[in-house]
Structure 1
């Protein structure tokens, strides 16, 4: 049992402040660390974008327990204890208790958008996986990890985005199930992250690409750690990119069910994040020496196309 006092080790955020100032901190942090994602949030109504910023910062704090520079030097047992503390604290926040500014915005978001607790607990479980899993034998194993660390974000965001009443109020409607599409988009985004960050993850001793795929394309772990870009690697990466695009296509099916004011930002985020895959291809699959990203001018050019898609549904 984790004591309440020990939780302070992972939740110190300088106390309580005015709510608007707390949300502004979330906005600044999202803008700094998630530029493509942030652009999509700016297309949302103010209340929704603030909630998404709060959720992003909570997810970032969760990730920092495992992947901050300080975390890399901590023993496994210490990190597990910190995750236990964070879970305890998160449960307290869902009970309405706030001891710092991040808690404040989370309590407000939970109250406004009826957030489910389980995806937050699942994400913390995904962080625990990073302490015990440095390899994934099959895609099924990797998919579970992707759900926990990213598919959960789709479920967190789903109720903020809202569903178009036209799909739920008509007499013939059977309801709009957007959860599957929300999870699919999170998995697609995480697969994209994995492909973009192969070079960085190898320095942490982690290989997220399924080992069954490395074997299929005759590429070894040793070659990956050495950053070898050969024909086998290119075929392997082309296969992974195609898989990620399939998940993006699956996620598109649910966008039309979203509330009208959420479709444009979601289409924008989806298309821009998917654009990272094209940048990897343009870099000849060399993710060891070149970080794939979508340039700012491409983001601006894409905005009207995403808007047209959002209006055509």
Structure 2
């Protein structure tokens, strides 16, 4: 999988050669490499099975997992509590979902958080490639219905109910392997691949849970393209928000060639001084992130009606972080941009209004695949 995606990235011209207009197409190109092939029709069929406005997934309170001392409901409740404590903006969006989707998304989110914590958490210094290999074996057991703990049990149940591809989870683990051995990214092509592994995968995991509107004429692949763009946009936003925090850990998640073009170096990042050069550089990076958010918007409208409001809310809330970086005069070295509760609440009516827009009623052409 990693080799396949790398071939795609290497076959794309550098972002400097393409310009932002073509950078906006990266998501579609990489996704095409995943879906075009002998398994593409099978994957598309799995998703189309869930093109319904409501997916009925019941969780009985007294459903006890064999060999465990807790019920499945308790497992999902624990996932929801973890989300509420650690991902407040994301959690607000999940509250707008139907109960069955909220449970599934919480289970997926918690697994992703636990995976990320392996290399970013308190014990990160003790994590080795072998530890990630064991985590991947544990993932395979989870998908086979053999969860290790309560949080695993919730995800194990989720993947048995929704056609979520295990490869996406394995790809995220691959992103953690990158974090163990890589702390610099020479260009946007390299950074994009990293963003796919650690965040694009997460967005793609959620599409089967959210479902595509039965009346939508959009291609399944175009919806996945948009989901991938949202994952990339979110991760780029995370990177821009956390520049100072990452620098204190010796990491720079910014394209080094673009830093050089702006007259900036690693030392400028570590010194953390906001200059005109830095402001101009940040304006370009924020512009790119917003372009991916715009591409993501094209797919949200195609989701099932019950899913559109929470996804629109999440998109609008997260995109506002970019506004806050600007409001902080691009000081993401010592100030962490965050969206106030008042602004979050004001975004909900706007998100609801956007969720009322009907899906496309005309068939859209399949995106062109790349010749690999």
State the TM-score, normalized to the length of structure 1. Answer: 0.91
User: Superposition pairs for residues 70-219 of structure 1, below 5 Å?
Assistant: 70-72=123-125, 74=126, 78-167=127-216, 177-219=222-264
Aligned to 2:56: none
**What's the C-alpha RMSD, in Å, of the aligned pairs?**
1.2
- The gaps in structure 1 that reach 5 residues or longer are 1-14
Q: In 1, Cα distance between the equivalents of 2:259 and 2:96?
A: 40
Q: Which residue of 2 aligns with 1:8?
A: none
In the TM superposition, residue 71 of structure 1 has moved relative to its aligned partner by: 1.4
Q: CA deviation at 1:175?
A: 5.2
Runs (4+) off by over 6 Å:
none
- How far apart, CA to CA, are the structure 2 residues paired with 1:235 and 1:41? 35
CA contact (8 A) 2:83 2:110 kept: yes
- For residue 345 of structure 2, what is the aligned residue in structure 1? 300
**Aligned pair in 2 of structure 1 residues 141, 16: CA closer, same or farther (>3 Å)?**
farther
Q: Partners of 2:290 and 2:271 in 1: how far apart?
A: 27
**In structure 1, distance between residues paired with 2:219 and 2:287:** 32
> Against the structure 1 CA distance between its residues 288 and 22, is the aligned structure 2 distance closer, same or farther, given a 3 Å change threshold?
same
Deviation readout 1:146-170 (Å, 9 max, x if unpaired): 00000001111010000001125xx
Counterpart residue number, 1:43? 96
Retained in 1: the 8 A contact 2:138–2:148? no
2:143–2:166 Cα contact (<8 Å) kept: yes
Larger RCO, structure (CA 8 Å, separation 6 or more) = 2
How big is the shift at 1:176? Answer: 6.2
> 1:119-155 CA deviation, whole Å, 9 max, x = no partner?
0000000000001111000100000000000000111
1:135 partner SS:
coil
- Picking from 7, 12, 23, the partner of 2:76 is 23
- 1:154, 1:185 within 8 Å by CA — same for their partners in 2? yes
Aligned to 1:9: none
TM-score by length of 2: 0.76
What's the counterpart of residue 11 of structure 1? Answer: none
SS at match of 2:264: coil
Question: For 2:128, what is the secondary structure of its paired residue?
Answer: helix
CA distance in 2, matches of 1:103, 1:283: 39
What's the CA shift for 1:174? Answer: 5.5
Equivalent-residue separation in structure 2 for 1:92 and 1:123 (angstroms)? 17
SS of the aligned residue for 2:282 comes to: helix
Q: Do residues 224 (structure 1) and 277 (structure 2) align?
A: no
Distance in 1 (alpha carbons) for counterparts of 2:188 and 2:328: 25
Match of 2:354 among 289, 309, 312: 309
Distance 2:112 2:220 in 1: 29
CA distance in 1, matches of 2:188, 2:163: 33
Contact 1:126 1:149 in 2 (8 A): yes
Structure 2: distance between partners of 1:304 and 1:70: 41
- Displacement of 1:98 in angstroms is 1.8
Aligned twin of 1:247: 292
Paired with 1:143 and 1:261, the residues of 2 have a C-alpha distance of: 31
What is the count of residue pairs matched by the alignment?
A: 291
How far apart, in 2, do the equivalents of 1:64 and 1:79 lie? 13
Deviation at 1:115, TM superposition (A): 1.2
Quick one: distance in 2 between partners of 1:34 and 1:106?
A: 18
CA distance, structure 2, for counterparts of residue 304 and residue 99 of structure 1: 41
Stretches of structure 2 lacking an aligned partner (at least 5 in a row): 1-67, 359-372
